[in-house]
Structures are given as structure tokens and as C-alpha cells.
């Protein structure tokens, strides 16, 4: 009888470990290239817009979170520059100690988990960047920017920012059981920032190749205990042969061992979408690049990016990624030339930045008034960001 029981218990235990103990769904949400568009407002046309604004993306974020048990939210940069609110904050109003940049008033409310730096973060200089970033209630990462130490030996270069973070999170499996999981998040910027913002970075910062940096840090993240590794390149997707120090390195990055998800950006395009359907190794139906689940959610808040991972954790706490998909959701759709809203703005986000928003509008009305009416109406039609600076 004793022996029989023992044998039975053995078979039962074997059954548990092979059939798999627990399946966990993890949803990773991404915003990118917000370019200071918090409010759903076109400052050039001086009227509301249904096609821009983190206030509208926020509604998608809340919906996407409510559908799942486990999610994290990551921003991929190009955050503090790119519209009149950004210029107003950096050049007109400034940030005094204790001031909170309006982008972080909004993002702190949305409880972001991690932020990554984009190339445009360096447009107003390092002092303004640091004064902005210290308002974030969440960590920032960037792995391929280093202090310029004046020598050519890259092996001893010191990172300027935290290259990655490993988040300790408690997640709930499909049976309602809790598990701890370590989620590693690593950020990348186009190496070209040292040329594009030479005035701000010369003698202070240098950059390394994105793929080389990934090969250095991803094994280290695994050694540090990361069960899941998410790469956040502020970098587009190109299948042209890599030349080294590539601006758009997401495709090459997808082939680096040890990655479970890629949240990318910089190109101001949407992935997955038909535009990428013909690329070798890309599955736009599933949202994968060389088998890695990936998303790129447009620009100015136009879309929310989603990566849905299906994970398995065994009784020893060992995690395996079983499957992953990438997708996006838009804040509006097109009907011919018309843009039709798919969500309302989150009023709490709009309210959080209402002072800076109102000040920017009066700043713009004053500034545009000096250039004359014909130029004003022309700008309003084309809405070109670089033209307005002339
Ligand atoms: Mn951008
Ligand atoms: Mg960019």
C-alpha cells in the first residue's frame, strides 16, 4: 500500500511538470515619438485634433490594461521635443527646481514602468534633459550612450544612463496563482545623436553600435536573473545590410540571442502593417521580426503598441516564453480625408497640463501674429514642423 502510494505520487508529480504548471499572459504596452503631444490639440492649426495626444492614447492604455491580469507600460522616447509646448517649456518658460515637465505630469498619472531616450531628447541640451527626467516617477534607460572620457578604448567607457533595469513584478497565472517574475528592459538610441546634437554633446558623450551593445548587455541581464528581456530601440526597421552604427537597427537587433520582445520607434510608422509585409523574416499577421514579437506605435500618440507574451513557469520558478504577438491600436481611423476618433481624451490627462497648454496657445498666437496672415494660413494647411521654425 505504501509503495503504491509513493508510485502514484511520483506519476502525479511527473504529470504536473510535463503538462506545465502555470501559464501566464504578460502584456507589454508601448508609446513612442510622443513629441510633447499630451493634449489632443494641433498648435499650428490652433484647434483640437482627434489624431494626436497622449490624452487619447491614455484611453487605449486603460482599455488594454483592463483586458489582462498582467501588463507593463513603456515609453520609447522622442518625448520632450517636437511641438510648440516643448519649445515653450524649454526656451520660454524653462524648468526651475521643483517644476514638473508637463509630459511627466501626464506620464506619472499613467504609471509608466520604464522610459527610454530618443534622439530628440538631446535637442535642448543635457541640463534641460536631466531637469526634465528627474520629474519621472519611473526609471529611464539607455545602453549605448557613454561619457566621453577622451580615450579610444571603448572597453572602459562608462554608461551615461542606466543601460537597463530589471523590474521585480508579481504576476497572476491563468488559475489565479501569483508568481514573481524579473522583467529586464534595455534601451537604445541612434548612435547619430553625437552628430545631430554635436553642439550639445561634443566632449560630453559618445555612442556605441546598437547590436554590439545588445550583445554586451543581454547576457549580463540574463545573469542578473532577468526571466524576460524586452529591447526598446529608438530605431527603425531596415533590411539593408548592416554597416555598423546603423540608425535603423531593429532588424539586426531582432537576431541577437536572448530577446523576447522588441518595442521600437523613431520611424514614425506603424508595425505590424502592410508596409513591412514583404520583408524577409517579418510576419505582419503575427507581429514578429525573425520570430520576436514586436510593435511600433506610430507617432504623436496616434497608436498604442502591444506585445502579448504567453509565458510558462515551472515549479522551480523557471520561465519560458511560449509565444508572442505584436499589434497596435489607433486613436482614430481615416474615412477618405476625414479622421474619425476611435476614443475620447482622458480628461485627467488634459487637466494635468492645462496651464502649460493654455500658455503655449497664447505664446503661439503672439508668435504667429508677427509673421502675418498669409504665412499663418499656409502653415495651418501643411502643418509642417520644420517650416514653422522659419
Ligand atoms: Mn520622433
Ligand atoms: Mg527619433
Residue pLDDT, tens place only, 252-299: 999 999 999 999 999 999 999 999 999 999 999 999 999 999 999 999
How far is ligand 1, taken at its centre, from the CA of residue 256, in Å?
24
Beta strands in the chain (DSSP E): 22-31, 41-42, 47-48, 71-75, 114-116, 140-141, 145-147, 164-172, 178-188, 205-207, 228-233, 261-263, 270-271, 282-283, 288-289, 292-297, 303-313, 319-330, 332-335, 338-341
Residue pLDDT, tens place only, 333-357: 999 999 999 999 999 999 999 999 9
Per the structure, the count of domains in the chain is: 1
What's the whole-model pTM score?
0.90
CATH at 340:
3.60.21.10
Q: How confident is the model at residue 160 (pLDDT cuts 50, 70, 90)?
A: very high
Domain for residue 247, yes or no?
Answer: yes
Residue 70: domain span: 20-367
The bound ligand whose nearest atom lies closest to the alpha carbon of 236 is 2
State the Rg of the chain over Cα: 23
**Is 238 within 8 Å of 225 (Cβ atoms)?**
no
Domain for residue 295, yes or no?
Answer: yes
The bound ligand whose nearest atom lies closest to the alpha carbon of 82 is 1
How far is ligand 1, taken at its centre, from the CA of residue 270, in Å?
13
Distance of alpha carbon 187 from alpha carbon 183, whole angstroms: 13
Domain for residue 120, yes or no?
Answer: yes
How far is ligand 1, taken at its centre, from the CA of residue 372, in Å?
29
How far is ligand 2, taken at its centre, from the CA of residue 79, in Å?
9
Domain for residue 248, yes or no?
Answer: yes
How far is ligand 2, taken at its centre, from the CA of residue 315, in Å?
43
The bound ligand whose nearest atom lies closest to the alpha carbon of 34 is 1
User: Which pLDDT does position 152 carry in this prediction?
Assistant: 87
Domain for residue 390, yes or no?
Answer: no
Domain for residue 172, yes or no?
Answer: yes
Amino acid at each position: 500500500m505504501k509503495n503504491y502510494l509513493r508510485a502514484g505520487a511520483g506519476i502525479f508529480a511527473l504529470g504536473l511538470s510535463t503538462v506545465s504548471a502555470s501559464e501566464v499572459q504578460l502584456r507589454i504596452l508601448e508609446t513612442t515619438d510622443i513629441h510633447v503631444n499630451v493634449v489632443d490639440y494641433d498648435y499650428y492649426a490652433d484647434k483640437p485634433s482627434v489624431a494626436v495626444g497622449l490624452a487619447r492614447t491614455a484611453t487605449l492604455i486603460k482599455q488594454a490594461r483592463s483586458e489582462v491580469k498582467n501588463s507593463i507600460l513603456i515609453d520609447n522616447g522622442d518625448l520632450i521635443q517636437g511641438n510648440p509646448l516643448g519649445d515653450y517649456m524649454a526656451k520660454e518658460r524653462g524648468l526651475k527646481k521643483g517644476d514638473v515637465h508637463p509630459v511627466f505630469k501626464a506620464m506619472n498619472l499613467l504609471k509608466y514602468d520604464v522610459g527610454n531616450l530618443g534622439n530628440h531628447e538631446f535637442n535642448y541640451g543635457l541640463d534641460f534633459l536631466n531637469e526634465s527626467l528627474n520629474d519621472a516617477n519611473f526609471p529611464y534607460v539607455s545602453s549605448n550612450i557613454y561619457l566621453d572620457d577622451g580615450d579610444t578604448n571603448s572597453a572602459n567607457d562608462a554608461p551615461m544612463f542606466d543601460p537597463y533595469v530589471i523590474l521585480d513584478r508579481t504576476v497572476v497565472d491563468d488559475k489565479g496563482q501569483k508568481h514573481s517574475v524579473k522583467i529586464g528592459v534595455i534601451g537604445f538610441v541612434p548612435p547619430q545623436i553625437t552628430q545631430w546634437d554635436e553642439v550639445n554633446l561634443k566632449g560630453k558623450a559618445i555612442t556605441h553600435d546598437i547590436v554590439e551593445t545588445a550583445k554586451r548587455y543581454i547576457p549580463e541581464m540574463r545573469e542578473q536573473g532577468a526571466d524576460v528581456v524586452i529591447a526598446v530601440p529608438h530605431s527603425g526597421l531596415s533590411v539593408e545590410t548592416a554597416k555598423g552604427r546603423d540608425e535603423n537597427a531593429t532588424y539586426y537587433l531582432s537576431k541577437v540571442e536572448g530577446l523576447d520582445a522588441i518595442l521600437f520607434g523613431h520611424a514614425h510608422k506603424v508595425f505590424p502593417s502592410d508596409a513591412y509585409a514583404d520583408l524577409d523574416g517579418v510576419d505582419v499577421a503575427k507581429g514578429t521580426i525573425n520570430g520576436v514579437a514586436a510593435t511600433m506605435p506610430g507617432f504623436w500618440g496616434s497608436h498604442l503598441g502591444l506585445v502579448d507574451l504567453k509565458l510558462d513557469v515551472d515549479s522551480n520558478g523557471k520561465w519560458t516564453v511560449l509565444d508572442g504577438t505584436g499589434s497596435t491600436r489607433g486613436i482614430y481611423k481615416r474615412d477618405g480625408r476625414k479622421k474619425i476618433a476611435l476614443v475620447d481624451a482622458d480628461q485627467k490627462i488634459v487637466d494635468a497640463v492645462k496651464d502649460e497648454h493654455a500658455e503655449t496657445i497664447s505664446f503661439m498666437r503672439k508668435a504667429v501674429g508677427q509673421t502675418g496672415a498669409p504665412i499663418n494660413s499656409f502653415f495651418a494647411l501643411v502643418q509642417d514642423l520644420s517650416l514653422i521654425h522659419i
